[in-house]
């Protein structure tokens, strides 16, 4: 089974997390990804990007971080 690729955008200022996720969507097309964010507004922005791209995702929390799992 293919491993899940983690995209760590913790602590980055806007709009870097969304830019990096956009890059990851292209680079890892078809792969399982997890975007890890440290702030709620970053998580919201990434979710919005995924919705715009019609990608279904799952949300979870790991310690203090927000994790968004999906298939690019």
Least distance to other proteins, CB of residue 71, Å = 16
Cβ(36)–Cβ(60) below 8 Å: no
Residues in contact with other proteins by CB under 8 A are 7, 10-16, 18-20, 22-24, 27, 38-41, 44-45, 48-49, 52, 54, 64
- Identify which of residues 4 and 23 has a Cβ nearer to other proteins in the complex: 23
Cβ(60)–Cβ(67) below 8 Å: yes
Residue with tokens 């715009």: 52
Least distance to other proteins, CB of residue 54, Å = 7
Residue with tokens 């709009």: 15
């Amino acid at each position: 089974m293919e491993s899940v690729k983690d995209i760590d955008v913790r602590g980055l200022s806007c709009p870097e997390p969304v830019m990096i996720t956009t890059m990851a969507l292209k680079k890892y097309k078809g792969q399982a990804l997890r975007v890890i964010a440290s702030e709620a507004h970053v998580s919201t922005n990434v979710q919005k990007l995924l919705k715009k791209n019609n990608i279904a995702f799952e949300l979870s929390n790991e310690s203090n971080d927000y994790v968004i799992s999906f298939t690019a």
